[in-house]
Amino acid sequence: MRNWFEANGEVLTVTYEAEFIDAEDKNDDKKEYPWVVVVDDDISNLKTAGHVLSKNGMRVTALRSGKALLEFLKDNRPSLILLDIEMPEMDGFETIKILKAMDSVVSDIPVIFLTGTDDLESETLGLQLGAMDFIRKPFAPEILCMRAKHTIDLIKLQSSLATEVARKTRENESLLTSVIKSLADAIDAKDTYTNGHSSRVAEYSREIAKRFGYSQEEQDMVYMAGLLHDVGKIGVPDAVINKPSRLSDEEFELIKKHPVIGSQILENINEMPQLATGAHWHHEKYGGGGYPDGISGDEIPEISRIIAVADAYDAMTSNRSYRNVMPQEKVRSEIERCMGAQFDPRFADIMIGMIDEDKEYLMREIPADRG
């Protein structure tokens, strides 16, 4: 069965599959047939292409102009476009330029040019504009079918590979996050008084980054850096970390080494340099006078400035060996007082906003395993 429909002189669809597809396949509702759109102002070329392609198991839509194609693509997503170069009003080159500027769902549809000339310059231009191949007219049925099938199979393979790579990437990211969380838990286990500290700092840091306008990928990086900001405490004696009384000057000097130790541990993760950055400078002060390097302002990496605010908030809202949880208003006033001196005012202001929204003082009780 062949169905043709015309509107304003432009052939819109031609369907051959009922005539050539096996009876077994017809009853298979789950089977998807490649969908090819042929665009040519010559109706004889459309009929020939429609007959050849549908006979070889493809669904065919025929259009007579580039304008009709662009209109058609607003609601349809074919597997392949066969596009004639020489057409009145809008030629193939102009059509593909517009097509490739559309959203990726449309612009990623493969295009093969149909041409009646053997012109190297036109072929070069077509490939530069994004065409995948050329078929010369009058086309041999075998060549037309073979090129169309090969292109569709190639795109399917690329899509399958991209899906598999994305799946593996998600698996690896999930594994990495699990490893990082386990390491963060091991760090927190050294300190009797700060169970879940790293996870909470990571959550606060991510929320600050989100409100500041970071992308999801950037937020995730800030979160992981927050988890590992204190990894250097592995190199500090437990007796110093858990000392219930005030630290001596010598003991405090040991504590001050943990940012450098942490960055040294993390700098070998070449794919994520932000992890080492976050650990190294999270105890610097915006106005200067912090450690380990005493830098200030924008000299301090942004990720470290974010973690610094989150770290200070958790320190004030957690029970410590030397004091209990501070009242929320006191925490707010301390962060406000230290804006510009200890904290980047922009990130401190975001934290103050988070505190003001936390009417029940529940933010400090974020579950340690969330994220």
Does 121 lie in the same domain as 32?
yes
Does 196 lie in the same domain as 153?
no
Does 236 lie in the same domain as 297?
yes
Assign 19 a pLDDT band (cuts: 50, 70, 90): very low
Task: Kindly write down the DSSP assignment for every residue of 182-201, as one continuous string.
Answer: HHHHHHHHT-TT-TTHHHHH
Task: Kindly write down the DSSP assignment for every residue of 88-128, as one continuous string.
Answer: SSS-HHHHHHHHHTS-HHHHTS-EEEEESS--HHHHHHHHH
pLDDT given for residue 361 in this prediction: 83
- Overall average pLDDT of the 167-177 stretch: 80
Q: Is residue 174 part of a domain?
A: no
Does 300 lie in the same domain as 239?
yes
Does 266 lie in the same domain as 136?
no
Q: How confident is the prediction for the chain on average, in pLDDT?
A: 86
Q: Which of 7-16, 190-199, 250-259: highest mean pLDDT?
A: 250-259
pLDDT given for residue 322 in this prediction: 63
Residue 84 in contact with residue 40, Cβ under 8 Å?
Answer: yes
Task: Kindly write down the DSSP assignment for every residue of 291-330, as one continuous string.
Answer: SSS---GGGS-HHHHHHHHHHHHHHHTS-BTTB-PPPHHH
Residue 51: count of CB within 10 angstroms of its CB: 17
Domain around 149: 3-162
> Could you tell me the CA-to-CA distances from 130 to 93, 134, 156, 162, 302 in Å, in that order?
10, 11, 18, 19, 40
Taking only the tens place, the pLDDT of each residue in 79-104 is: 999 999 999 889 999 999 999 999 88
Taking only the tens place, the pLDDT of each residue in 184-200 is: 888 877 776 667 899 99
Does 154 lie in the same domain as 62?
yes
| Count of domains observed in the chain | 2
Taking only the tens place, the pLDDT of each residue in 59-78 is: 999 999 999 999 999 999 99
Residue with more model confidence, 18 or 310: 310
Assign 20 a pLDDT band (cuts: 50, 70, 90): very low
Does 343 lie in the same domain as 222?
yes
Taking only the tens place, the pLDDT of each residue in 324-366 is: 789 999 999 999 999 999 999 999 999 999 999 998 888 876 6
Assign 308 a pLDDT band (cuts: 50, 70, 90): very high
Q: What is the CATH number of the domain that holds 60?
A: 3.40.50.2300
pLDDT given for residue 11 in this prediction: 47
> Could you tell me the CA-to-CA distances from 272 to 10, 14, 61, 263 in Å, in that order?
55, 53, 48, 12
Q: Is residue 124 part of a domain?
A: yes
Q: Give the containing element (helix H, strand E) for 278.
A: helix 273-281
Least confident piece of the model among 247-251, 277-281, 298-302, 345-349:
247-251
User: Which sign does the torsion angle of CA 209, 214, 220, 225 carry?
Assistant: negative
Residue 122 in contact with residue 136, Cβ under 8 Å?
Answer: no
| Strand residues in the chain grouped as ranges (E) | 3-7, 10-15, 35-39, 59-63, 80-84, 111-115, 133-136
